[in-house]
């Protein structure tokens, strides 16, 4: 492999982290994302196939040449791809990639986590917006919380670093926080509260449910939680620890003024489009270059395109770009 470079944009930000979506299909119907379930956009014409394992491998090799240390396989719901273990293995065997993660709704977790771990999975992120089974079912459309929690227990037993993502919703936020705090007393996961983000499809829902994370963060600090240093290949969360808790708490607050200054990640969609930001107007098509199988050529193209990355996502100004919902490029 050529000597590893570090990809840097025109604002001095360096990129160590690739979020690679492997499908935009999802089997959940979360209120804030796909309340009516997944439907293919017929107006977009013939949908190109998702990246094959070989094509995904080319993408990962190209980004590794540019300094990427961490690959997250996301969706949609990545477990809907039967070849996800092969994709995990492709990531874990890429020279330069030090950490392989998967973000999932956990629907299949008990039956697949062993295979994922055996193929090189280091980190798992599972979406759980409530620990109340009835509320979980209302939010997601699935009565599957007990099964998901069983899968998390197995992941922890296997030594897989496990994080739980919970979208902050204004109604009932304090009750959910207390449930999660009780769980974290003895469960060594990192719970990450994520501010609800406005997309093209959820404007009304956002207006009535958005809750800023600052109040939760102040509450944590006042009760003895302490901020941890952030690794250079970490995601955007500010993580806190407390001596009385086995688990940690993180906050992802995209509406804070300085959120974009620490951006260290790029996204490639399941159709091979580079998204310089989650809320960019459109993806930059890499598929033709990916299909050559030439990772050096693809790395050169990504290097040329990084100069187009904006300084901010401009969410504070109500900009949602081309993001209609978060299943499209993995949130």
CATH code for position 240: 3.20.20.70
Both tokens of residue 32?
């804030």
Residue 18 covered by a domain: yes
Residue 81 confidence (pLDDT):
97
Give 53's Cβ-side CA count (13 Å radius): 14
Does 200 reside within a domain? yes
Residue 298 has what pLDDT?
98
- Which helix (H) or strand (E) segment holds residue 56: the answer is helix 53-65
**Per the domain annotation, does 219 fall within a domain?**
yes
The kind and range of the H/E element at 8 are strand 7-8
Structure tokens at 79: 């477990």
* Overall number of domains in the chain: 1
pLDDT band at 327 (very low <50, low <70, confident <90, very high): low
Taking the C-alpha atoms of residue 64 and residue 10, their distance in angstroms, rounded to an integer, is: 20
pLDDT digit string, tens, across residues 220-247: 999 999 999 988 877 788 999 999 999 9
The pLDDT value recorded for residue 48 is 82
Q: Which two tokens stand for residue 87?
A: 């994709």
Please, which residues bridge with residue 168 across strands?
195
User: How high is the pLDDT of residue 325?
Assistant: 58
16-25, 160-169, 209-218: segment of lowest average pLDDT: 209-218
| Residue 313 pLDDT | 60
CA distances from 305 to 133, 281, 283, 302 (A): 45, 14, 11, 5
Percent with pLDDT over 90 in the chain: 66
pLDDT averaged over every residue in the chain: 89
Q: 0.85 cut: is pTM over it?
A: yes
> In this model, does residue 202 exceed pLDDT 90?
no
List the 248-252 sheet strands across, edge first.
226-227, 238-241, 248-252, 190-195, 161-168, 123-127, 99-104, 70-74, 17-21, 265-268, 273-275, 284-285
Strand partners, 124: 102, 162
121 against 327, higher pLDDT = 121
Residue 328, in any domain of the structure: no
| 330 located within any domain | no
Residue 331, in any domain of the structure? no
Q: Residue 324: is its pLDDT beyond 70?
A: no
CA 244, CA 258: separation in Å to the nearest integer?
Answer: 30
Report which of 208, 206, 184, 186 is spatially closest to residue 197, judged by C-alpha positions: 206
d(CA 144, CA 232): 35
Q: Which domain holds residue 310?
A: 7-317
Quick one: pLDDT at residue 257?
Answer: 66
Per-residue pLDDT of 15-49, as tens digits, reads 999 999 999 999 999 988 888 888 876 545 567 89
Cα distance between residue 148 and residue 107, in whole Å: 6
pLDDT category of residue 120 using cuts at 50, 70 and 90:
very high
Instruction: Look at residue 291 and tell me if it is in a domain.
Output: yes
Look up residue 255 and give its DSSP letter. T
What pLDDT score was predicted for residue 3? 47
Q: What tokens does 49 get? A: 């196939």
Domain presence at residue 327: no
Nearest CA among 56, 7, 5, 48 for reference residue 24: 48
Answer whether residue 74 shows pLDDT above 90.
yes
Q: What is the pLDDT of residue 166?
A: 95
Tokens 């990772």 belong to 295
Half-sphere exposure of residue 78: CA atoms within 13 angstroms, side-chain side: 33
Q: Could you tell me how far CA 55 lies from the centroid of its own chain?
A: 20
Question: What does the pLDDT look like over 280-310, one tens digit per residue?
Answer: 767 899 999 999 999 999 999 999 999 888 7
């Amino acid at each position: 492999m050529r000597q590893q470079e570090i990809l840097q944009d025109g604002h001095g930000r360096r990129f160590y982290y690739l979020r690679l979506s492997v499908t935009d299909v999802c089997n959940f119907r979360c209120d804030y994302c796909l309340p009516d379930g997944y439907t293919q956009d017929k107006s977009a014409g013939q949908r190109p196939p998702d990246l094959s394992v070989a094509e995904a491998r080319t993408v990962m090799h190209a980004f590794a040449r540019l300094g990427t240390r961490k690959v997250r396989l996301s969706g949609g719901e990545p477990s809907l791809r039967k070849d996800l273990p092969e994709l995990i293995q492709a990531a874990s065997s890429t020279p330069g990639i030090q950490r392989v993660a998967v973000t999932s709704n956990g629907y299949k977790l008990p039956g697949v986590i062993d295979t994922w771990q055996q193929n090189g999975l280091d980190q798992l992120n599972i979406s759980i917006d409530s620990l109340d089974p009835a509320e979980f079912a209302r939010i997601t459309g699935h009565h599957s919380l007990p099964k998901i929690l069983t899968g998390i227990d197995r992941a922890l037993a296997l030594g897989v670093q496990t994080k739980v993502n919970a979208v902050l919703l204004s109604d009932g936020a304090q009750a959910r926080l207390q449930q999660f705090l009780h769980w974290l007393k003895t469960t060594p996961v990192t719970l990450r509260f994520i501010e609800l983000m406005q997309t093209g499809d959820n404007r009304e829902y956002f207006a009535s449910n958005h809750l800023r994370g600052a109040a939760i963060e102040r509450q944590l600090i006042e009760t003895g939680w302490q901020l941890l240093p952030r690794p250079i290949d970490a995601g955007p969360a500010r993580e806190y620890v407390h001596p009385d808790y086995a688990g940690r708490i993180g906050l992802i607050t995209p509406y804070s003024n300085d959120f974009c200054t620490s951006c260290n990640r790029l996204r490639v969609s399941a159709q091979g489009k580079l998204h310089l930001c989650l809320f960019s107007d459109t993806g930059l098509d890499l598929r033709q270059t990916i299909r050559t199988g030439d990772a050096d050529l693809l790395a050169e193209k990504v290097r040329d395109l990084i100069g187009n990355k904006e300084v901010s996502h401009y969410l504070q100004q109500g900009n949602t770009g081309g993001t209609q919902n978060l299943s499209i490029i993995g949130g």
